[in-house]
Amino acid sequence: MEQTISSLTFSHYFLTGAVLFVLGMIGFITRRNMIVMFLCTEMMFQGVVVTLAAAAALHGNVTGQTFIIFVLTIAAAEAALALGLVILLFRRRQTLDAGAWSELSG
């Protein structure tokens, strides 16, 4: 275990977090399906969570881990809310395409 960890530097963890976040962001911007977009945001969350965990280990304190719990809780609550909204929107237009909604145009 010691060996494995030492071969993996903190940079790897941060990089993993960053990759997850960026992939999520690309997905969010390119996909049109609202459920997929929503999943992408979840992925971005996980990227942040990984980064937080790595930072916690680096500093040797539990602040980061505390935040992870916090983020996950929020994410769960938000997931419930967001899916509900998506279903509501689907019922209105019978489509999951995010492009169908552009009422906020200025």
Partner 1 sequence: MIDSSHLILVLLTLPVVWAVGLLLPIPGLQRKRYAWAYSAVTSAISLTLAIVVAMNFDWTRPGDMQLSGSIDWIPSMGLSFRYGVDAISLWLILLTAVIMPVVVLSSLIEVDHDMRQFHFWLHILEAALIGTFVAQDIVLFYVCFEFTLIPLYFLIGVFGHKEKLKAARVYFLYAFTGSMLTFAGVLYVGYVGWQQNGIWTFAISDLYEIGRRMSMTEQCLVFAAMLAGFGVKTPLVPFHTWLPLAHTEAPTAGSVDLAGLVLKLGPYGLIRLAIPMLPDAALAFAPWVCVVAVIGILYAALICRAQKDAKRLVAYSSVSHMGFVALGLFVFDPGGIAATGAVFYMLAHGLATGGLFLCIGMLYDRFHTREFGRVGGTAKFMPVWSFFFMMFVLASVGLPGLNGFPGEFLTLMGAFDSELWWSKPMAVAGALGVILAAVYLLYMAGRMVWGTPIIPPDHAGYLEGAEHGVDPNHRHDLSWREITTLVPVAALCLMLGLLPMPVLRTLEAPVVGLNEPVMALVEAEERAALRVAGDEAGDRSQATGLNGVGTGAGRGAGEGSQAIPLRVVSADGVGGEGVIGDE
Partner 2 sequence: MSLFDPQIAAYIPWVSGISAVVCGLLCLYPQYAKFAAGVCASAVGVGFVIALGIWGNVVGAGTAVNPEPLMRWIEVAGLEANYGVYLDGLTMIMLGVVTGVAMLVVIYAAGYMRGDPGYARFFAAVSIFIFAMTTVVMADNLVLLFLGWEGVGLASYLLIGHEYHRQAAVNAAKKAFIVNRIGDFGVLLGMFCIFDVFGTVRFEGFLPAASALLTGDGSGLNMEAAAAYAQATAVLADGGQWLLMAAPFGLMVGAFGKSAQLPLFVWLPDAMEGPTPVSALIHAATMVTSGVYVIARTMPLFELSPYALPTVAIVAGATAILGASIALAQYDLKRVFAYSTVSQLGYMFIGVAALSSTAGVFHLVSHAFFKALLFLTAGSVMHALAGQLDIRKISGLRHKMPVTFVLMGIGCAALAGLPVLTAGYWSKDLVLATTFDRAIATSGGTAFVYYAVGVVGLLTAFITAYYCFRVWFRVFFGEERYEMGDHHHGGGDGHDDDHGDHGHAHEPHEMDWGMNGPLVVLAVGSVFAGLLLGPTHVVEHLIDGTSAEANALRVGDDATPYVKAVHTAMYFVSALIAVAAVLVAYVLHGPKRKVEGDDPVRLRAPKVFGALNSKLWIDEVYGGVIVYPVRVMGSVFYVVDAVIVDTVVRGLGVVPRLLGQGVRPAQSGRLHGYGLGMALGVAAVVAVTFYAMSRGG
Footprint on this chain of partner 2 (rule: CB under 8 A): 25, 28-30, 32, 37, 98-99, 101-106
Q: Among residue numbers 40 through 79, which ones bind partner 1 (CB under 8 A)?
A: 58-59
The smaller minimum CB distance to partner 1, of residues 6 and 11, is found at 11
Q: What is the 3-state secondary structure (H, E, C) of the chain?
A: CHHHHHHCCHHHHHHHHHHHHHHHHHHHHHCCEHHHHHHHHHHHHHHHHHHHHHHHHHHCCCHHHHHHHHHHHHHHHHHHHHHHHHHHHHHHHCCCEHHHCCCCCC
Q: Which does 29 bind (CB under 5 to 8 A by kind): partner 2, partner 1, none?
A: partner 2
Q: Which does 32 bind (CB under 5 to 8 A by kind): partner 2, partner 1, none?
A: partner 2
* Positions in the binding site for partner 1 (CB under 8 A): 9-11, 58-59
